[in-house]
Amino acid sequence: MFRREFVFGSETKNRLSINVSPSFPYSPEKGYGFTTPQTFRADVPGPGEYKIAISLRTREALEDVCIFTGSGDLAFRGNIPAGIYRHSMSVNVGDRVFPGGSLICRDRALTVTVAAQAPCLWGLSLREASCPTVYLAGASPEDLGNTFSGPGNHGESGGETKDGRSGWQRMFSAYACDKIAVSNHSRPGLTPDSFRLEGHYSAIEQYSRPGDFYLFQFDWGKQGPVIPKTAENYRRELTRYILCCREKLIYPLLLTPLPRPDGMKEDEENRKALTAYADICRDVGTVTGVPVVRLHHLTRTPPDAYLTAGLVAGEIIRACEKFPGYGYRFLAKNLKGA
């Protein structure tokens, strides 16, 4: 049975906790354990935020170590020195709608995977936490590649295609400090209408709380010329989302669509549509008093999800660090730009 806190590794000395050996296999009866030598799973009692402290131990320095949570959300990427390296992060566990369906699926499993040149997961502590969650809501681009492989890069979860490409949202947690958690509910091609109709909005609305953040970035439907009726509906639905956030004391942000990555051609009609729908975001943000993260103006977008996530984090910091309201400044303070 899950307790409020448990730890494995030599850090367990003088602490009242469950001792778990790195070779201890996961079983549904216990509710925690290792599914692979580098993947730990714990069945948590309910949705919410959890604080994870990880210790990595290695005899030699390791390059490009990645820590993933869930089905492939990157939480850390970097080089680690020889000896013991510690990293802490906050993770959100909650329900979601998986690709190809519209049913809200119950998710109570928290998994952590360390991808490295050699096994190095040595210690882990997990406890319930209380911190804001940043919900990534809307469309994820399908045309961003990854410079590394990790769990979830096989088209098994949202935001990724079958060739291992993924949207920047899958990498965004790596640029978040441990005072905020990130919950990714983006999928390729989602519009303001389909995000609600397919159940994604209901999946996050049921558990979000005052002080959380919603980051909205949507497609506008069929690519091509701007259709006035579609544009007006886009404006109306964005405003509706923001008003719902205000009722629940949640901080909304609007992100304008990203241009296509370097080396990918985009015709004139789509460029005009990109600008038109970005202008709608700007107008809605002005009327409602919500920060608008202007991504469509970026002239060079890296063709890589991880680098793009850092670029997006930097633009969010720029938009929020001086914005009125403590919440937006708190978000800017707890993100790291590329």
Instruction: Quote the pLDDT of residue 96.
Output: 85
Q: What is the pLDDT of residues 131-151, one digit of tens each?
A: 999 999 988 875 544 544 454
Model pTM score:
0.87
Domain 133-333 sits in CATH at 3.40.50.1110
Q: What percent of the chain has pLDDT over 70?
A: 79
Which parts of the chain sit beneath pLDDT 50? 1-5, 9-17, 144-145, 147-149, 151-165, 263
Does 2.60.120.430 match the CATH number of domain 5-128?
yes
Q: Output b/e per residue, 142-170; b: 16+ Cβ within 10 A.
A: eebebeeebbbbeeebbbbbeeebbbbbb
Instruction: Quote the pLDDT of residue 1.
Output: 31
Instruction: Quote the pLDDT of residue 33.
Output: 87
Q: Domain locations in the chain?
A: 5-128, 133-333
CB 225 within 8 A of CB 176: no
9's torsion region: left (phi>0), alpha (psi -120 to 50) or beta? left
> Around 283, how many Cα atoms within 13 Å sit in the side-chain half-sphere?
11
Instruction: Quote the pLDDT of residue 328.
Output: 97
